[in-house]
């Protein structure tokens, strides 16, 4: 049976039409997050985007935005509905209200995917085959999603490829570049299949399709081989002992002031055998009290750190009496003192948008410590003799600009290390914490820097500059470790040239797709 005859048996997929198109788009969006953590079935990322490209090749341009919106609903309903856990379990919202808020959140985020379809329909006025602009508009929608209002830089395709052969591209073109290149590959394949199935027995189209496919495979193989073989010589290397404390404090009870002494003693007990490690890391908001209210305890730990030649770094909210503002901070105690204030705050968790209207309506809009102020966009790193820590609190790890603009060590001996602390207990046993950790690993690979991650209940780990987990604490357990690690830092082309690399890639990708479309549609 020929390819055409087999495809004709599946007549609807050959020429998708009717309302089933929207349902199929919803399904395609829903399988996309299965390619991300925790399942990490990364080939589904390509299959999902290929299916969307195929639909867009076959439906009328007036339907583009509807198709991509339905895709977005499935995409975020499966990939980001874990916000329900925070709203229902810890915001104490009734189940019906939590589901309603989550649905609104998903329907809003789906608009970013609808933007892809809208831009494609507008480009149809100027392009004979608008699908060639699909990768560009996909990347544009990612950018808007990551920057509109507070931004939600989550579920990017490039993150999901950290455990695939394509992860070697990350230090060269970054997460955005990997996302773009992946969509270019998928779009080219969709174009080839589309032309083949529409050509009937046209030998010219078959030959041109074969040439295009060969060129694509050769390009992918060459890029993957080059990126995998190069960049294996460390530019900086240091050995240091690291200890991480993961207390597993129940989120529902964390901010209960009656239990504060219990938590302070818990940290004291868990840290006692770790003194002597060069760096001891506690999670985000480790101490559920303002800094000045536990000053005696902090002085006690600072004294311990100095005696043991350790540096204790912990998350703690602090009140600035001069500015009369509360900050979510990361502070160090020991021979050197540093302070970092979180810049990217979590909406509703750390500040309430339209506070005058929403504050007090329901308990979710009145969570503890939800009156935070943002820190400066660029702040000092935590610079030590061996390691130079680039701090990030919670989902700041998802904002690559935070690291591109950071004060990185230019000295030969100090290794730049990403230090991220978080409290993913807000999201229970959902997929959220796993996605968050995957983002952190991809960021380490992208910037070619090691990463240390401390959280309340997991995933706490040390990751090398290739994105591999070197040591990890068990999830949802109170635990700690101390170990000596060899920290290697490598050159990252993306770190040096960042967005310039992405712009060049966009131009090259669009030229490649334009030429492919011309070759596939040309008749002698």
pLDDT tens, residue by residue, 155-191: 999 999 999 989 999 999 999 999 999 999 899 888 8
Burial of 292 (0-12, 13-18, 19+ CB in 10 A): exposed
Is-above-0.85 flag for pTM?
Answer: yes
Could you give the count of Cα atoms lying within 13 Å of 67 in the half-sphere of its Cβ?
28
Residue 93: what pLDDT? 79
- Same structural domain for residues 155 and 289? no
| Mean pLDDT for the stretch of residues 450-454 | 98
Which residue did the predictor score with more confidence, 346 or 103? 103
Which residue did the predictor score with more confidence, 343 or 226? 343
What is the 3 state secondary structure string of 223-264?
HHHHHHHCCCCCCEEEEEEEEEEECCCCHHHCCCHHHHHHHH
Residue 511: what pLDDT? 80
Q: CA 109, CA 466: separation in Å to the nearest integer?
A: 31
- Same structural domain for residues 261 and 384? yes
- Same structural domain for residues 226 and 251? no
| Mean pLDDT for the stretch of residues 27-48 | 98
Could you give the count of Cα atoms lying within 13 Å of 108 in the half-sphere of its Cβ?
13
Q: CA 425, CA 51: separation in Å to the nearest integer?
A: 35
Q: Would the pLDDT of 358 be above 60?
A: no
Active site residue 342: yes
Domain range for 28: 18-231+498-521
- 15: DSSP letter: S
| Mean pLDDT for the stretch of residues 78-90 | 87
- Same structural domain for residues 293 and 170? no
- Same structural domain for residues 291 and 351? yes
Catalytic residue among 70, 113, 284, 466: 284
* 414 contacts 383 by C-beta, under 8 angstroms: yes
- Same structural domain for residues 155 and 284? no
Return the SS3 of 523.
coil
What's phi and psi for 243, nearest 5 deg? -125, 140
Average pLDDT, the chain: 88
| Mean pLDDT for the stretch of residues 197-215 | 62
- Same structural domain for residues 390 and 279? yes
Residue 9 maps to a domain: no
| Mean pLDDT for the stretch of residues 485-489 | 96
- Same structural domain for residues 316 and 208? no
Which residue did the predictor score with more confidence, 95 or 209? 95
Q: CA 116, CA 446: separation in Å to the nearest integer?
A: 26
- Same structural domain for residues 360 and 413? yes
* 111 contacts 72 by C-beta, under 8 angstroms: yes
Shortest CA distance to 392 belongs to which of 290, 243, 281?
281
- 12: DSSP letter: H
Residue 201 maps to a domain: yes
pLDDT tier at 87, thresholds 50, 70, 90? confident
Return the SS3 of 93.
coil
Residue 8 maps to a domain: no
| Mean pLDDT for the stretch of residues 411-428 | 89
Question: What are the structure tokens assigned to 305, written together?
Answer: 């750190």
Rounded to the nearest 10 degrees, the angle between the axes of helix 203-229 and helix 170-198 is: 170
Quick one: which H or E segment has residue 315?
strand 311-320
Active site residue 516: no
Q: pLDDT exceeding 70 applies to what percent of the chain? A: 84
Q: What is the pLDDT of residues 250-284, one digit of tens each?
A: 998 999 999 999 999 999 999 999 999 999 999 99
Residue 119 maps to a domain: yes
In 3-state terms the chain splits into helix, strand, coil percentages (rounded to 5) of 55, 15, 30
Catalytic residue among 113, 342, 408, 466: 342
pLDDT tier at 463, thresholds 50, 70, 90? very high
Could you tell me the CATH number of the domain that includes residue 486? 3.60.110.10
Shortest CA distance to 184 belongs to which of 146, 116, 122, 136?
136
Which residue did the predictor score with more confidence, 497 or 262? 262
Catalytic residue among 70, 278, 304, 394: 394
Q: Which of 324-338, 404-418, 442-456, 485-499 has the lowest mean pLDDT?
A: 404-418
Q: What is the pLDDT of residues 103-148, one digit of tens each?
A: 999 999 999 999 999 999 999 888 888 998 999 999 999 999 999 8
Strand positions, DSSP E, 157-310: 236-246, 279-281
Residue 74 maps to a domain: yes
Q: pLDDT exceeding 90 applies to what percent of the chain? A: 63
Q: Would the pLDDT of 287 be above 90?
A: yes
Residue with tokens 């509360």: 326
Q: Would the pLDDT of 196 be above 60?
A: yes
Q: CA 143, CA 29: separation in Å to the nearest integer?
A: 19
Question: What are the structure tokens assigned to 41, written together?
Answer: 């079935």
Q: CA 305, CA 302: separation in Å to the nearest integer?
A: 5
Residue 311: asked if its preceding bond is cis (omega within 30°), the reply is no
Could you give the count of Cα atoms lying within 13 Å of 364 in the half-sphere of its Cβ?
21
Long-range Cβ contact pairs of 505-511 (< 8 A, separation 24 or more)? 505/173, 505/177, 505/180, 505/181, 506/136, 506/139, 506/180, 509/135, 509/136, 509/180, 509/181, 509/184, 510/132, 510/133, 510/135, 510/136
Residue 500: what pLDDT? 82
Beginning with the edge strand found earlier in the chain, give each strand of the sheet holding 279-281 in spatial order. 339-341, 325-333, 311-320, 279-281, 236-246, 479-489
* 42 contacts 87 by C-beta, under 8 angstroms: no
Residue 459: asked if its preceding bond is cis (omega within 30°), the reply is yes
Active site residue 5: no
- Residue 357's CB: how many other CB atoms inside 10 A? 10
Residue 255 maps to a domain: yes
Residue 118 maps to a domain: yes
Chain center to CA of 173: 16
Question: What are the structure tokens assigned to 47, written together?
Answer: 């299959």
- Same structural domain for residues 211 and 282? no
Q: CA 369, CA 291: separation in Å to the nearest integer?
A: 13
Structural domains in the chain (count): 2
Q: What is the pLDDT of residues 135-144, one digit of tens each?
A: 999 999 999 9
Q: Would the pLDDT of 242 be above 80?
A: yes
Return the SS3 of 104.
helix
Residue 409 maps to a domain: yes
- Same structural domain for residues 258 and 121? no
- Same structural domain for residues 312 and 163? no
Which residue did the predictor score with more confidence, 502 or 100? 100
Q: Would the pLDDT of 523 be above 50?
A: no
Q: Which of 278-282, 382-386, 435-439, 502-506 has the lowest mean pLDDT?
A: 502-506
Q: CA 101, CA 149: separation in Å to the nearest integer?
A: 18
Strand pairing category for 415-422 and 387-393? parallel
């Amino acid at each position: 049976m020929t390819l055409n005859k087999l495809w004709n048996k599946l007549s609807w997929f050959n020429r998708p039409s009717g309302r089933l198109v929207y349902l199929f788009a919803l399904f395609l969006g829903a399988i996309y997050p299965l390619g991300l953590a925790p399942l990490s079935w990364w080939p589904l990322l390509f299959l999902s985007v290929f299916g969307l490209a195929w639909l867009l090749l076959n439906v009328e341009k007036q339907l583009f935005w509807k198709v991509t919106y339905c895709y977005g609903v499935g995409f975020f309903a499966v990939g980001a509905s874990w916000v329900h856990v925070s709203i229902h379990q810890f915001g104490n919202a009734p189940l019906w209200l939590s589901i309603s808020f989550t649905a609104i959140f998903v329907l809003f985020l789906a608009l970013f995917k609808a933007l892809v379809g809208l831009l494609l329909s507008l480009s149809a006025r100027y392009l004979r085959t608008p699908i060639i602009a699909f990768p560009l508009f996909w990347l544009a929608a990612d950018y808007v999603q990551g920057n509109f209002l507070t931004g939600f830089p989550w579920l990017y395709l490039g993150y999901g490829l950290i455990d695939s052969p394509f992860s070697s591209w990350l230090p060269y073109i970054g997460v955005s570049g990997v996302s773009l290149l992946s969509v270019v590959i998928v779009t080219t394949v969709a174009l080839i299949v589309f032309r083949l199935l529409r050509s009937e027995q046209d030998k010219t189209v078959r030959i041109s399709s074969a040439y295009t496919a060969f060129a694509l495979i050769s390009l992918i193989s060459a890029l993957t081989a080059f990126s995998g073989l190069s960049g294996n010589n460390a530019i900086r290397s240091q050995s240091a002992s690291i200890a991480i404390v993961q207390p597993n404090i129940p989120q529902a009870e964390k901010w209960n002031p009656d239990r504060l002494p219990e938590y302070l003693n818990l940290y004291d007990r868990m840290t006692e055998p770790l003194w002597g490690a060069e760096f001891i890391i506690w999670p985000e908001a480790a101490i559920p009290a303002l800094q000045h209210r536990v000053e005696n305890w902090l002085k006690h730990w600072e004294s311990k750190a100095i005696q043991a030649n350790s540096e204790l770094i912990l998350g703690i909210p602090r009140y600035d009496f001069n500015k009369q503002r509360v900050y979510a901070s990361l502070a160090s105690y020991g021979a050197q003192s540093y302070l970092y204030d979180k810049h990217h705050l979590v909406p509703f968790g750390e500040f309430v948008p339209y506070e005058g209207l929403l504050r007090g309506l329901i308990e979710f809009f009145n969570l503890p410590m939800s009156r935070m102020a943002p820190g400066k966009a660029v702040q000092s790193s935590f610079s030590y003799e061996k390691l130079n820590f680039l701090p990030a609190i919670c989902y700041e790890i998802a904002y690559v600009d935070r690291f591109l603009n950071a004060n990185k060590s230019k000295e030969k001996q100090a290794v730049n290390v990403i230090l991220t602390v978080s409290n993913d207990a807000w999201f229970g046993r959902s997929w959220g914490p796993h996605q968050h950790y995957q983002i952190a690993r991809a960021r380490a690979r992208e910037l070619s820097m090691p990463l240390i991650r401390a959280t309340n209940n997991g995933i706490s780990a040390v990751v090398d500059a290739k994105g591999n987990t070197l040591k990890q604490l068990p999830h949802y357990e109170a635990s700690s470790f101390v170990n000596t690690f060899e920290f290697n830092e490598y050159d990252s082309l993306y770190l040096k040239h960042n967005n310039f690399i992405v712009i060049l890639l966009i131009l090259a990708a669009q030229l490649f797709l334009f030429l492919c479309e011309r070759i596939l549609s040309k008749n002698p």
